[in-house]
């Protein structure tokens, strides 16, 4: 198992770099599809061990490592490779899982439509759940301290090759098979910490 030191504000880059040296996927001229793309072995979930005690049943996302940690024991967990929000669309903070949905429907936010009307305006009325839905097979809905929906999600994706990159409109995405497994374990009310992006020194 990999060993690492997770804190609420940041992860120790040096220890993580040694523990989980993931590499970006190889470039290809042929556009992948959900049916043909195969998860590289280094992106499969893996067991990890933490130096410091964590909150059992919680989720911690480290955007710099494209990693989601599901805490299964005070010093043990599972690391999933994820995609995160691009640029300043990523939002850090502390949240709770306020809802869970299988094959969720999806509606772009007004901000998304304003940024890319050609892409999102036609979905203003919503898109039913299904294999081509941007939220994929499962979604965890992140709520704020007051119990309000933040419109941030941890979800699947019909474009699994986009994990290990910053491409989304702010949500955290996993391969469908991985979010389906995580979905079964995570309870409503589970705490979620989205760590801030750390600028290179």
Q: Give the tens place of pLDDT for each residue, 77-127.
A: 999 999 999 989 999 999 999 999 999 999 989 999 999 999 999 999 999
* Total Cβ atoms within 10 A of residue 51: 12
Angle at 55 (CA atoms; ends 78, 18), nearest 5 degrees: 45
SS3 label, residue 79: strand
SS3 label, residue 194: strand
Q: Give the tens place of pLDDT for each residue, 122-149.
A: 999 999 999 999 999 999 999 999 999 9
Q: What's the predicted TM-score (pTM) here?
A: 0.83
């Amino acid at each position: 198992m990999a060993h690492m030191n997770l804190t609420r504000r940041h992860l120790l880059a040096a220890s993580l770099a040694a523990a989980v040296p993931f590499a970006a996927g190889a470039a290809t001229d042929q556009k992948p599809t959900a049916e043909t793309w195969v998860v590289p072995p280094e992106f499969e979930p893996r067991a990890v061990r933490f130096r410091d005690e964590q909150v059992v049943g919680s989720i911690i996302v480290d955007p710099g490592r494209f990693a989601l940690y599901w805490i299964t024991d005070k010093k043990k967990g599972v690391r999933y490779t994820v995609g995160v929000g691009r640029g300043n669309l990523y939002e850090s903070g502390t949240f709770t899982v306020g809802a869970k949905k299988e094959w969720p429907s999806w509606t772009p936010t007004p901000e998304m439509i304003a940024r890319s009307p050609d892409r999102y305006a036609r979905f203003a009325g919503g898109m039913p759940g299904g294999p081509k839905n941007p939220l994929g097979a499962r979604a965890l809905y992140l709520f704020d301290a007051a119990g309000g929906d933040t419109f941030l999600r941890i979800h699947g994706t019909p474009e699994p090759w986009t994990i290990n990159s910053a491409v989304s409109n702010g949500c955290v995405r996993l391969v469908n098979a991985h979010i389906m497994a995580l979905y079964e374990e995570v309870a409503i009310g589970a705490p979620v910490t989205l760590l801030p992006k750390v600028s290179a020194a």
